[in-house]
Amino acid sequence: TSSLLEGNFPRYENVMPDACDTAVLVPTEELMQAVRRVSLLASDRYGRVVKVALSDGKLDLSSKTEMGEAQETLNIEYSGPELSIGFNARYLMDYLTVVGSPVVKMELNPSKQSDDDRKLEAGDKPGQFKPEPDEAVDYRYIVMPMHL
């Protein structure tokens, strides 16, 4: 049996970005393993937030709780402004375990300047993840950011 849902389905098109300012390619397996390790010390109380920070030539993942801190660094090709955003580690792992491509494209849209003029924060704009090369499968995974 099934039942019809009442009400209107949310307008998901409003959440999906038309274009992204920042895009980086990251090896899927390396990113998945790094998120898994860093999330071990992410607090359940705040939704297991993992901070993702981009800077010249690297992607830093970090988390902290009252028990300690975890940090991982991946070497990537990136030369834009410094950028940081927080994601729920479980949502990242859900995507990375099933994407099926050796590389993923992570696309971010900075929306606000941080206290330091050289750094950007993603704010409330979603992150978009796609398999790479994208001609193999055409889909995208949207993850809403979490406050750090």
Residue 68 is predicted with a pLDDT of 87
- CA dist 131 and 113 (Å) reads 29
Cα four-point dihedral sign 148, 112, 95, 62: negative
pLDDT, position 90: 93
pTM over 0.95: no
**Would you state the structure tokens that stand for residue 92, as one six-digit string?**
């990242």
pLDDT of residue 113: 55
- One pLDDT digit (tens) per residue for the chain, 148 residues: 888 778 887 777 777 777 788 899 999 999 999 999 999 888 777 678 999 999 999 999 999 888 889 999 999 999 888 888 999 999 999 999 999 899 999 998 866 555 555 566 656 788 899 998 766 667 889 898 887 6
Q: Quick check: 63 and 42 in contact, CB under 8 A?
A: yes
The rounded distance, in Å, linking the Cα atoms of 141 and 148 is: 21
Cis peptide before 133 (omega within 30 of 0): yes
Task: Tell me how far apart the alpha carbons of residues 34 and 28 are, in angstroms, rounded to a whole number.
Answer: 10
- Proportion of the chain in helix, strand, coil states, percent, rounded to 5: 20, 40, 45
CA distance 18 to 116: 28
Computed from CA positions of residues 56, 102, 144, 45, in that sequence, does the dihedral angle turn out positive or negative? negative
Residue that the structure tokens 């950028």 belong to:
83
